[in-house]
Structure 1
Amino acid sequence: MHRKTLLSAAIVSCLAFGAHAQEAQPQATDLDTITVTGIRGSMEKSLDTKREANSRVEVVTAEDVGKLPAHNVADTLQRLPGVNISSSSADEGGFDEADRVSLRGTSPSLTQTLINGHSVGSADWFVLSQGNNVGRSVSYTLLPSELVSSVEVNKSSQAKLQDGGTTGTVNIITRKPLEFANQITAEASVGLVRSDQAESNDPQLSGLFNYKNDDGTFGVMVQAFSQKRELRREAQEIPGGFFQIGATDPVAATNPDLVGVWAPGLLGSTLFEQTRERKGGLLSLQFKPSDTLTLGVEGFTSKMDANNYNRNFMMWGGHFANSQAPDAGYVVKDGVLTDAKYTGVAGTDYAVYDMIYREATAKSSYVTLDADWQVTDNLSAKFQAGSTKGEGSTPRQFIAEVTLANGGGASWSTHGNGSPIDWNVGGDLTPAGVTSFGTWGNQQVTAEDKEKWFTADFSQYFNDGTLSSIDFGARYADHKREALSPEGASPGDIWSALQNGATSPYPGGFASNIGGDFPRNLWYFTPGALKDAVVNNSTWLSDDDGPNGRHNYGAEWKVQEKNFSAYVQANFIGDSWSGNVGLRYVNIDQDIMSYQSVSDVANADVTSLFAQGPGPDPCGWGCPVWGGWKIVNTSNKHSRILPSANIKFDMADNLVFRFAASQTQTLPDFSALGASSWGSDLNKTGGGGNPHLKPILSTNFDANLEWYFMPRGLLSIGAYSMNLKDYVAFGTETQMLFSELTHQLEPYNVSVPVNSDGKVTGVEFVYEQPLGDNFGITTNYTYADGSTSHTWADGSNNLTGTSKNTYNVGAYFENDTFGARVGYTYRSKFLIGLSGANPYYQDEFGTLSVALSYKVNDHLSFSLDALNLNDPTYKYYQSASIPTAFYSNGRQYYFNARVKF
């Protein structure tokens, strides 16, 4: 490891930022060659880059990604100050792998993720994230850490940075062929992952080959990965949260004291299993026809097959608690029916059981063409054209929904939001006890995310004076996000084939980690039995069925945005200070298409009718007919000038002060703009979009003091504020939607996005210090105070995604052959959004991870990464008295052997 000089560190920083900021720097062929390896070297490199930058930035280098206990980029970034992660994007609940990244106590949709400075098409495997809940964040499950050279988190804005990140931008930088030191480089990693709870061992493979010629004028790099992992999540879920007993409900006549009281609509014992197989790679070529021109082509693809089976055996409180009086002795506390017992009534089903097996995939890809041209000694230019596509698809769903516990009665007892609910139902809970069968079919769902763009960026350098350079350029992008539900199957007599199908039991010790007393000794139809019964007893439609086929127009929408932007930025340098000031002009044209449910099918633009299958009622509850729809088209135009300024003072050789001010903009989530209204017949709640939403404009201020008291040593403290104009929150309203059960329009309580205002203020603290030659500690803490002018249904003014307290504590040891790193990450509670019509929150959680490595020689090394060692339970709740979910995912152990030539 070689210590960099201050000048060489500055050049490395400039080169790193040039990958995404379109800056070409003057050539510096006489500088020392820089070689940085290991945990200590990578930390030093990251701090040097951070120190020399004019803006507020956090940096993770490739050695950090390889050495930290993390296997996608999001898991690595959570250890940076001001960075939060979440493991889901919709209502799928918490998993063991990070999937979304957000900054400074805001939602992931306000953080922009780029690769090499350009957009990347995003895709999700979960069906709700493919249609009803689609944000602007990028799914990190498709981005393995092996692809990364470095990651930059820009916390303050600059005019030259691509617009779209209200709270900041994450830029993932890949390796380039001509950057490798050797003419030929080959690396391979072979390993396995042990998923403790799933009791599974699965392969993890990746490889890299790079070649560049002797002259350094041509290079080609190929990377590939193939990784499989089994997941098993054990949980208690309360889908949709609690509901309020109304004054017109039948129970109000006998028990008027229950009017307005909250009761559980559904209480579930939930088993989720999934196989994730991620395959893909990256191809990069560079060619230098002259010393002043470099041409590049890069292509990336990643596909994850994510077939999953979710079983949720539920007490159906919404079916009886609003009509049947509880036995004497029930308890109401803080407006919640906390303890209740119901004696069984013949003819009443007290349980409903959903078994949903889905085939699912998520894909992401891009292709870019680059040209870097040193036009003159003082003028550089960079051009890029590219396209990207993300696709999430659920081509088949095999669904059984049955009712049980006829006349068996039910009971529950709550213990606040920190403990699972004790609940039980009586009666026959075996397959023989099924009283009715239903399915909402096998509807195909596909989400497409596409963008084509062109950028032209220029830098004019000046040899004398305070003005060191001017950056200017323009960008045009055409982006389309579309949710498709093209067709499904008309279900026939599935139950006759399924009722005697193969079954399996819930795993032994199911959900023992989360506690609580609720049904665990349960059964389910095997995936094969469920799939065979559905496929063999359904009429699968084709394109020939036309507009009268079983086409769910209510699940479809499209948002298309054409974005033109131009910028100019002046960069200054003086005696012990530097900075920049700039303006970015943004002009956006939006075209939004969605559907509205109508009662008069004869005057509808499209219909979703189909012929019912054989028999009087082959589906058990009536085959669904999705009715008629009106097409709704909306066009919006948005233009704005976004100013930014950054200044850095070198108050001493090792003391830096920064200040930044800017305005940034993010468009509302795609589904918030486009989603057609939809409803759930189980609890009469739903959601929808609002095409008239305005963009979110944030006015930002940032100040930070950094003391680099020794190599790899940093003590810093900073403060920030963001005033969010037209922040998007969610209200509720009653809408008439088509019921699949009654085949007519009925009232639903629908959550609808609305513009509001919000603000976030906070403080960040960082302390990093080596202890001797081999040891070191890293700590950081972030405080965020967020609020919105919108009042949620629970009376709060919380900002989505705001955790007041986030901290990371870590320690490392490294010598020439052995390395070890341990880290603990904590995040306090935060508002996720709406579940049905009710706000819901994720409770505080912390994760403990350890990474060990052993270097045999320069060509062979081994590593063992242990994640979620404390086996955290992810808790979700509606209020202090009402929980909504408890998830246990278990621990994961990754063992890898790495070979390098």
Structure 2
Amino acid sequence: MKLRKTMLSVSIVAALGFAGSAMAQQTTAPEAAQAPAASSQEATDLDAVIVTGIRASQEKSLDTKRNAATHIEAVTAEDVGKLPAHNVADTLQRLPGVSTSSSSANEGGFDENDRISLRGTSPSLTQTLVNGHTIASADWFILSQTETVGRSVSYSLLPSEIVSQAIVNKTSEARFIEGGSAGSVNVITRKPLEFANQISAEGTLGAVYSDLAGSTKPQVSGLFNYKNDANTFGFMAQMFYQERELRRDGQEIVGGFLTIAPTDPVAATNPDLVGVKYPSLPGSAYFSQTRERKGGLLEFQAKPSDDLTLGLSAFYSDMDAANYNRNYMLHTGNFVPRVAPLPGYVVQDGTLVKADYAGAVGADGNPIGNGIYDMISRPESAAKTGYVTFDADWDVNDSFSLKSQIGHTKGEGSTPTQNIAEVVTGTSGGGWQVRGTDSTVNWYLNNPSGPTTAGFGTWGIQYFDVIDKEDWLNLDATWYGNGGVLSSINFGARYSQHSREVNSPYGSDPGNIAGALAGAPVGNYPNDFGSALGGSFPTNIWYFTQDALEQAVKNNSTVRKDGARENYASEFNITEDNTAAYVQFNFEGDNWSGNAGLRYVDVSQDIRYFDSVAGSGQAPDVVSLFGGFIRVRDKNSHQKVLPSANFRYNFGDDLVMRLAASQTMTMPDYSALAGSVSLSNLTHTGSAGNPELDPIISTNFDASLEWYFVERGLLAASIFSMDLDNYVKYGTVVRPYVNDQTGMIENYEVTLPVNSDGKVKGVELTYEQPIGDYFGISANYTYADGEADGGDALVGTSKNTYNVSGWFENDRWNARIGYTFRSSFYHGMLRANQYFQDDFGTLSASVGFKATDWLSISLDALNLNDPELSYYVADGHPQAFYNNGRQYYLNFRFKY
């Protein structure tokens, strides 16, 4: 009974809300936390004070914010692997001004956050650093690899176990690496000489249960740290191995909404339908995946003398992401333009929102297929990233110090195989009813075929490999003043060479795959498929098993490495040489401080890609089954001086005002720059790049007021604005290309990026307060108003984002709960349409128990409200709906 009462008390306390920051036993110097451009992090003497727990971690996070020279937000891990969530992005979304998304292209949302946005902007305008240096990006999903190749970093490759502290910089300084127009996130790892004890060891054994998949998978991590008695040498090793199984139930209107043309046969019988739109390929999409993430972090530190510190760091993260997607669809484009609907159809606001069709026979005398079914297996999808850095910090004398760093980072995303089977199912008619943008489309298919290879079509292996890498050298110096207003001067230089390349060198010619699949093993959608999405659509659906499909393709296709299947239209290579130099003056008075500086940046770009010669009459340089292409090479050069200034005034011990102004620069996304083309034969649409794009220059202003009215308490407000010159938005043109299925030259509506201008302005409000000795609450709200020229939407702008949370902690128990909401935002272009994600909110909670000084137990729950992620296009039509279920993490943490 006593245990039952205790658990009830914890549950009641948890319901009060969740405090969004936690902190590590190891701490980081404020200067290092706020300076992503620094080549190393200053160690903090942890022998003096050791702090643990939610309350101490919240206090440290607020102290970091309060003492920073610029406007920042901070989150600190309570202990190894004990961020307030199991994903760094999930944690950061609870900070004011930060929003997240769970996808980077048009693959739809998943169950964990993957990208970070700051202050209503695109993730590509937010720079992610690790210990102040860049980290290469990599994605496992093919659309993120080939179509939307941005400059944002996937947080799915950054486990919480490596994080000591994460700093969000909302204003800029001259010493900060350029690249984040909206700001930057600096993920800080632990360092060997920061540990209090000579030997430290920590480990976690746990499991994650995904309720929709009905699967439990292991989660293992460990840390060992050694430093000598003299604190002159240290070594730290971390490892992690984590599996997770995903299931996503979805409805997708794959083809969007098409328009009935005057030349379509149905126009003769139903002229009232000319110009009317109808849903193309509404489908029941069942996605399953196993993610296996493994890797580690090695850190060495040595102090040959009191004035010199050397560091060597290496990190590696590798995620296998095998997946299988099935999409069972109503093939409306095959019959709506040709066949009259049954009486009783409804046209509303130019859309055929309700219609029923009987089976019909085509001009060839054969029944018209009313359903089409795609099964796509990608058994080897993977992403990996890593870095190696060597740095040296030398305090030359009391007035001068030098820091240097040399580093290399490389990321790779690959899809070696796509096993695809497409079959026709059902010839007896069907129908649908559109119910608005926030409800699934009701649809049905009469008498669907069972396991069949009728009308079979397939694409076998088409290899894609995307490599992102950078080499760099930093040289930073600081001169310290001897009193007076000028406290110090920072100056230095940086050189880097960054490259991004997409390769698709070979594919396969399919053979008798249909014959191999005849009678092959099949499975069925889960019994509860789509139950959380609402509406009425097919759910009791068969599919060829993933193994059967893979074996049929493998045994009945010929891999062509002779260039015949090279997908030149998807390939490009961009190399950027970046040279930068800066000077920054730091000032300090009795109640104020500030800095002002200039950063000079010189970027040279070498952009190589292939352009189709379809319809141009030009002789091709290379030819494959995808058509003829010429090699294209563009070179650009961009120079810019970026000013910045920050001012801080302390009205008292507890009241801080900050003012900031700066210019920042971000290069356009790689896929926006490259001329590579991606086409859809189904909708005759596509996307292409524009190598003539200029960098995005943002002029930023920020003002904030922070009142630390009690210990661990904060009341803050800030206003901000960003004028985005050369902001990249999209237009459309019609171009001829070879249809790789028909071999004919056909016109495609292609989306192109163009330079424009944009603006974002907004307000942030923050409230944090302890309640008594054991409770605390936190809340923040961000308003962002952004638009591009012409009133177009700005990618990533949610007008309203808020977090409400609370926590409880005593000597043994702790509990946290939090809710995060983000209003709808423009996600990007899809088939020449603006593509939006609708409002959504997520609820998470955790309960922890400290059993002994060396053992603690935690239960964390994510997506407790089982959110639905929905998407729509600008003309008011629904696009997709997804449900990913809930996730529960049980962990046993051991500490020595």
Which TM-score bucket, shorter chain as reference?
Answer: over 0.9
Secondary structure at the counterpart of residue 29 of structure 2: helix
Q: Deviations over 1:93-127 (max 9, x none)?
A: 01001100010111100000000111101110001
Which residue is equivalent to 2:529? 510
Which residue is equivalent to 1:400? 421
Q: Deviations over 1:516-555 (max 9, x none)?
A: 111111000001110111000011234xx2x4x3211111
Secondary structure at the counterpart of residue 701 of structure 1: strand
Which residue is equivalent to 2:123? 108
459, 475, 492: which one pairs with 1:473? 492
Which residue is equivalent to 1:384? 405
**Equivalence map 1:449-488=2 (5 Å):** 449-488=468-507
The letter for the 1-side match of 2:750 is V
Aligned-residue offset at 1:21: 3.0
Q: Deviations over 1:691-731 (max 9, x none)?
A: 11111111110000110001100000110000111111111
Matched, 1:430 2:465: no
Aligned-residue offset at 1:790: 4.4
Q: Deviations over 1:735-775 (max 9, x none)?
A: 11120221022101111111111101100000000001110
CA contact (8 A) 1:17 1:23 kept: no
> In 1, Cα distance between the equivalents of 2:617 and 2:623?
7
CA pair 403-243 structure 1, distance change in 2 beyond 3 A: same
TM-score (norm 2): 0.94
> In 1, Cα distance between the equivalents of 2:252 and 2:40?
50
Secondary structure at the counterpart of residue 257 of structure 1: helix
Secondary structure at the counterpart of residue 161 of structure 1: coil
Matched, 1:808 2:835: no
Which residue is equivalent to 2:608? 593
CA pair 10-223 structure 1, distance change in 2 beyond 3 A: closer
Aligned-residue offset at 1:484: 0.6
The letter for the 1-side match of 2:857 is F
Matched, 1:148 2:163: yes
> In 1, Cα distance between the equivalents of 2:449 and 2:797?
42
> In 2, Cα distance between the equivalents of 1:266 and 1:828?
27
Secondary structure at the counterpart of residue 782 of structure 1: strand
Which residue is equivalent to 1:693? 693
Secondary structure at the counterpart of residue 139 of structure 2: coil
Which residue is equivalent to 2:829? 834
Which residue is equivalent to 2:812? 817
> In 2, Cα distance between the equivalents of 1:522 and 1:601?
48
Which residue is equivalent to 1:21? 38
Matched, 1:330 2:351: no
> In 2, Cα distance between the equivalents of 1:206 and 1:510?
34
Aligned-residue offset at 1:676: 1.3
Matched, 1:242 2:257: yes
**Equivalence map 1:45-444=2 (5 Å):** 45-63=60-78, 66-346=81-361, 347-358=367-378, 359-406=380-427, 408-432=428-452, 434-444=453-463
CA pair 88-679 structure 1, distance change in 2 beyond 3 A: same
Secondary structure at the counterpart of residue 554 of structure 2: helix
CA contact (8 A) 2:36 2:132 kept: yes
CA contact (8 A) 2:35 2:132 kept: no
**Equivalence map 1:844-859=2 (5 Å):** 844-859=839-854
CA contact (8 A) 2:166 2:188 kept: yes
Aligned-residue offset at 1:309: 0.1
> In 2, Cα distance between the equivalents of 1:729 and 1:258?
33
CA contact (8 A) 1:218 1:286 kept: yes
CA pair 790-124 structure 1, distance change in 2 beyond 3 A: farther
Which residue is equivalent to 1:607? 623
The letter for the 2-side match of 1:648 is R
Deviates more, 1:221-230 or 1:423-432: 423-432
Secondary structure at the counterpart of residue 709 of structure 1: coil
CA pair 464-28 structure 1, distance change in 2 beyond 3 A: farther
Aligned-residue offset at 1:805: 0.5
Q: Mind listing any 5+ residue stretches in structure 2 that lack a counterpart?
A: 1-25, 362-366
Secondary structure at the counterpart of residue 426 of structure 2: strand
> In 1, Cα distance between the equivalents of 2:446 and 2:40?
69
Q: Deviations over 1:431-457 (max 9, x none)?
A: 24x431111231001100010000000
Matched, 1:628 2:628: yes
Matched, 1:664 2:685: no
863, 872, 878: which one pairs with 1:883? 878
CA contact (8 A) 1:842 1:876 kept: yes
The letter for the 1-side match of 2:622 is V
Aligned-residue offset at 1:16: 3.4
The letter for the 1-side match of 2:318 is K
> In 2, Cα distance between the equivalents of 1:60 and 1:394?
35
> In 1, Cα distance between the equivalents of 2:617 and 2:548?
37
CA contact (8 A) 2:125 2:182 kept: yes
CA contact (8 A) 1:50 1:57 kept: yes
Aligned-residue offset at 1:14: 2.4
Q: Deviations over 1:816-870 (max 9, x none)?
A: 1111100000000111111212111111011110011111122111110000000
CA contact (8 A) 1:125 1:361 kept: yes
The letter for the 2-side match of 1:304 is M
CA pair 817-451 structure 1, distance change in 2 beyond 3 A: same
CA pair 19-734 structure 1, distance change in 2 beyond 3 A: closer
> In 2, Cα distance between the equivalents of 1:277 and 1:677?
32
Q: Mind listing any 5+ residue stretches in structure 1 that lack a counterpart?
A: 1-8, 609-624, 792-796
> In 1, Cα distance between the equivalents of 2:129 and 2:417?
31
Deviates more, 1:473-482 or 1:258-267: 258-267
Aligned-residue offset at 1:598: 1.7
> In 1, Cα distance between the equivalents of 2:41 and 2:233?
19
> In 1, Cα distance between the equivalents of 2:794 and 2:167?
26
CA pair 64-877 structure 1, distance change in 2 beyond 3 A: farther
Secondary structure at the counterpart of residue 91 of structure 2: helix
Which residue is equivalent to 2:21? none
Matched, 1:737 2:759: no
RMSD: 1.8
The letter for the 2-side match of 1:419 is S
> In 1, Cα distance between the equivalents of 2:314 and 2:149?
25
Secondary structure at the counterpart of residue 639 of structure 1: strand
Deviates more, 1:153-162 or 1:832-841: 832-841
586, 589, 605: which one pairs with 1:574? 589
Which residue is equivalent to 1:702? 702
> In 2, Cα distance between the equivalents of 1:69 and 1:891?
17
CA contact (8 A) 1:326 1:340 kept: yes
> In 1, Cα distance between the equivalents of 2:79 and 2:123?
23
> In 2, Cα distance between the equivalents of 1:570 and 1:252?
72
Deviates more, 1:61-70 or 1:190-199: 61-70
Which residue is equivalent to 2:29? 12
- Number of matched pairs: 864
Aligned-residue offset at 1:18: 5.4
Q: Deviations over 1:234-283 (max 9, x none)?
A: 11111242122233333334333323322111101010000000000001
CA contact (8 A) 2:97 2:119 kept: yes
TM-score (norm 1): 0.94
> In 1, Cα distance between the equivalents of 2:816 and 2:70?
29
CA contact (8 A) 1:19 1:173 kept: no
CA contact (8 A) 2:496 2:578 kept: yes
CA pair 667-317 structure 1, distance change in 2 beyond 3 A: same
